[in-house]
């Protein structure tokens, strides 16, 4: 099992959301999960679907949320940032019960592969 240590660096200030500055991992392998998309009528539905797919990908390698060392999140609309932060505040405590949330880079882009998609999340995990 990988040894993952997630922490913040005081000199960098407090994170602006539910993520940490640094993830340090000692592992034999890394798992790179392509950006996941999910259909849905609302941002919340798509967000839930995306993270459900990430969980399935993690499980396929015998891993779970504790193995995640980084997310890269792509949003199509900047007005969805508060929705994303609210979703994470609601769901991350269950996913990461220790309160150590993996680093996350958040990018707002022009569009995703199909216009119906509002969010895509790429994941790196240590095994």
Structural domain spans, the chain: 3-126
**How far apart are alpha carbons 102 and 4 in whole angstroms?**
10
pLDDT tens-place string over residues 72-98 = 999 999 999 999 999 999 999 999 999
Tens of pLDDT, residue by residue over 58-74, are 999 999 999 999 999 99
User: What would the mean pLDDT of 95-102 be, rounded to a whole number?
Assistant: 96
- Domain spanning 3-126: which superfamily? RutC-like (3.30.1330.40)
**What does the mean pLDDT of the chain come to?**
97
Q: What was the pLDDT predicted at 77?
A: 98
> Which band of pLDDT confidence, cut at 50, 70 and 90, is reported for residue 1?
confident
Q: Of 33, 47, 25, nearest to 91 (Cα)?
A: 47
Those residues with Cβ within 8 angstroms of residue 58's Cβ, 6 or more apart along the chain or in another chain: 31, 33, 64, 65, 67, 68, 123, 125
CA-to-CA distance for 2 and 4, rounded, in angstroms?
6
Q: For 22-45, how does the pLDDT look when each residue is reduced to its tens digit (9 = 90+)?
A: 999 999 999 999 999 999 999 999
Give the global pTM: 0.95
């Amino acid at each position: 099992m990988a040894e993952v240590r997630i922490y913040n660096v005081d000199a960098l200030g407090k994170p602006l959301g539910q993520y940490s500055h640094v993830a340090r991992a000692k592992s034999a392998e890394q798992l790179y999960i392509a950006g996941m998309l999910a259909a849905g009528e609302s941002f919340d539905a798509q967000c839930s679907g995306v993270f459900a797919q990430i969980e399935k990908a993690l499980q396929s390698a015998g891993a779970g949320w504790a193995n995640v060392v980084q997310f890269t999140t792509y949003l199509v609309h900047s007005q969805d940032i508060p929705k994303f932060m609210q979703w994470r505040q609601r769901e991350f405590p269950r996913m990461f019960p220790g309160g150590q949330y993996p680093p996350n880079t958040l990018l707002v882009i022009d569009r995703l592969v199909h216009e119906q998609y509002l969010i895509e999340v790429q994941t790196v995990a240590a095994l």
